[in-house]
Amino acid sequence: MTESNETVRMDDVVSLCARRGFIWQSSEIYGGINGFWDYGPLGVELKNNLKALWWQKVVRERDDVEGLDSSIIAHPRTWEASGHVEHFSDPLVDCRACKKRMRADQLDDAGACPARQGTSEHDWTPARNFNLMLKTFVGAQEDAAATAFLRAETCQSIFLDAKRVRESARQKIPFGIAQIGKAFRNEINPRNFTFRSREFEQAEMEFFIHPSEREKWFEHWLAERVEFHRALGFGDDRLRVRPHRPDELAHYANAAADIEFRFPFGWQEIEGVHDRGDWDLRRHGEYSGKELAITDELTKERYVPMVIETSVGVDRTCLALLCNAYAEEKLDDGETRTVLRLPLAVAPVKAAVLPLAKKIGEPAQEIARELRRSFNVFYDEAGNIGRRYRRQDEVGTPFCITYDFDSETDGKVTVRERDSMAQERIPVEGLRAHLQDRLEKAR
């Protein structure tokens, strides 16, 4: 019945996102700002649900992972130690005639210099490295001493805080620190909707281990993270693990793997699992002069912990969820519907409460109020019921609760299920517990 995602076009997803209030370009009324996106009423719920799910699995369900929420702006030495000041750059060229700046490795796509339209002439300078961190100035001066950077990845402050977290939470090796937050990269060429943007959200976890256990924990975390994406409904045809080849690995890394999703624009990384060795702690130890090695209580061995990292793009995973969920269906009656088959745990709205007519709105409102104690609920009394169902299908609402003229006498409502469109009469009494139970079971 469902058309395959083979034919899902980005245009359809982008258009649905703007029309229904998931995601649109930031500052639209000023013509937009390239590489920045806003999440609307439904988008923010989707994203928050995804983040809560990650936090539940990675932090709360484990004894050995602690949470963190650090500032976006850190001490500038952070980015010298991490290597970002020196190495986090793209090769750029300038046109000597019009001063336009381009990525040297994208000149073929870029075509001729815009100052000399219609000709292939241009006069590029040799490539030079352009740092991709966003720079700012903190304090009353605007000079080198005041220069700071918006973080290019959330993990660095995990390394800075590792000792403080370990001590205050009384953790021992092996243990991890997890964080969700914004990061920034001055992409020269933002593209593919929210996939490659300049401001984005990461969910990262750094797991600190003894050097003898690198392989074991790398395998553990890779398996955990693949399982997470499987539970989001990404099947074998849309999800794959791509281990890095030896020549792709950083000099300090034993292993790395990308978890890739097949978007309409191709296979792309949504998460990376990396063995980072002791590179980060060692560098921050050197640059700060602080002792970041630890002593094993039993063996008295002294060592700098190694790190296994899991790093997932929150926006990218939201986009994967939307692409994976989007379907246009031909129904038996010849009509078509657009439906977002989102997993229940991340669906922005869990239930829509729909009185069959406005005049029975009051008891329906009462049901909505009761359900809102447990989850996000939408209330809608306008338009014919079929159209209201379609609207909820299109935004992925798993349950529609219809209050009709029988409800007043039999104390029941019709619960319509999004995917099967099956309808069932359920007593209003206990409805919240019933839905909560179905939502919990679906996890």
User: Considering the complex, what minimum distance in angstroms separates the CB of residue 3 from its own copies?
Assistant: 25
Of the pair 237, 437, the CB lying nearest its own copies is at 437
First to last CA, the chain: 25
Peptide bond into 363 cis (omega under 30): no
Q: Does 31 bind its own copies (CB under 8 A)?
A: yes
**307, 280 contact by CB (below 8 A):** yes
Q: How far is CA 323 from the centre of its chain?
A: 13
User: Which range touches its own copies (CB under 8 A), out of 27-35, 215-223, 305-313, 396-404?
Assistant: 27-35
**Lookup: tokens for 140:** 């009353």
User: Considering the complex, what minimum distance in angstroms separates the CB of residue 81 from its own copies?
Assistant: 9
Q: How far is CA 5 from the centre of its chain?
A: 21
- Residues 174, 293: Cα–Cα separation, whole Å: 14
How would DSSP label each residue in 101-163?
EEEGGGHHHH-S-GGGTTS----BPPPEEEE-SPEEE-SS--SGGGEEEB-S-THHHHHHHHH
Of the pair 5, 436, the CB lying nearest its own copies is at 436
* Phi-psi domain of 100 (left: phi exceeds 0; alpha: psi -120 through 50; beta: other): beta
Q: Does 32 bind its own copies (CB under 8 A)?
A: yes
**Lookup: tokens for 78:** 């952070």
Q: Does 188 bind its own copies (CB under 8 A)?
A: yes
**348, 23 contact by CB (below 8 A):** no
- Residues 224, 59: Cα–Cα separation, whole Å: 13
Say how many CA atoms lie within 13 Å of 411 toward its Cβ.
5
Q: Does 157 bind its own copies (CB under 8 A)?
A: yes
Q: Does 387 bind its own copies (CB under 8 A)?
A: no
When binding is defined by CB under 8 A, the residue of 3, 11, 28, 429 that contacts its own copies is 28
Q: Does 277 bind its own copies (CB under 8 A)?
A: no
- Residues 363, 188: Cα–Cα separation, whole Å: 54
User: Considering the complex, what minimum distance in angstroms separates the CB of residue 281 from its own copies?
Assistant: 10
- Residues 259, 25: Cα–Cα separation, whole Å: 27
Of the pair 38, 224, the CB lying nearest its own copies is at 38
What radius of gyration do the chain's Cα atoms show? 26
Q: Does 312 bind its own copies (CB under 8 A)?
A: no
Q: Does 18 bind its own copies (CB under 8 A)?
A: yes
User: Considering the complex, what minimum distance in angstroms separates the CB of residue 294 from its own copies?
Assistant: 14
User: Which range touches its own copies (CB under 8 A), out of 107-115, 119-127, 132-140, 295-303?
Assistant: 132-140
Q: Does 441 bind its own copies (CB under 8 A)?
A: no
Q: How many residues bind its own copies (CB under 8 A)?
A: 85
**353, 377 contact by CB (below 8 A):** yes
Of the pair 150, 256, the CB lying nearest its own copies is at 150
**165, 208 contact by CB (below 8 A):** no
DSSP-derived letter for residue 171 is -
DSSP-derived letter for residue 305 is P
Dihedral angle sign, alpha carbons of residues 43, 44, 47, 48 = negative
Binding mask 282-301 for its own copies (x = CB under 8 A): --x--xx-x-x---------
User: Considering the complex, what minimum distance in angstroms separates the CB of residue 27 from its own copies?
Assistant: 3
Q: Does 20 bind its own copies (CB under 8 A)?
A: yes
When binding is defined by CB under 8 A, the residue of 13, 14, 47, 258 that contacts its own copies is 47
User: Considering the complex, what minimum distance in angstroms separates the CB of residue 287 from its own copies?
Assistant: 8
Q: Does 194 bind its own copies (CB under 8 A)?
A: no
Binding mask 67-86 for its own copies (x = CB under 8 A): xxxxxxxxx-xx--------
- Find the Cα–Cα–Cα–Cα dihedral 88, 152, 195, 70, rounded to 10°: 160
User: Considering the complex, what minimum distance in angstroms separates the CB of residue 10 from its own copies?
Assistant: 19
User: Considering the complex, what minimum distance in angstroms separates the CB of residue 183 from its own copies?
Assistant: 11
Of the pair 184, 261, the CB lying nearest its own copies is at 184
User: Considering the complex, what minimum distance in angstroms separates the CB of residue 35 from its own copies?
Assistant: 8
Side chain identity at residue 211, one-letter code: P
| Residues ≥6 apart with Cβ < 8 Å to 59 | 65, 66, 67, 178
- Residues 376, 250: Cα–Cα separation, whole Å: 44
Q: Does 35 bind its own copies (CB under 8 A)?
A: yes
**173, 64 contact by CB (below 8 A):** no
When binding is defined by CB under 8 A, the residue of 107, 134, 231, 241 that contacts its own copies is 134
Of the pair 19, 216, the CB lying nearest its own copies is at 19
Q: Does 139 bind its own copies (CB under 8 A)?
A: yes
Of the pair 7, 136, the CB lying nearest its own copies is at 136
When binding is defined by CB under 8 A, the residue of 14, 203, 322, 377 that contacts its own copies is 377
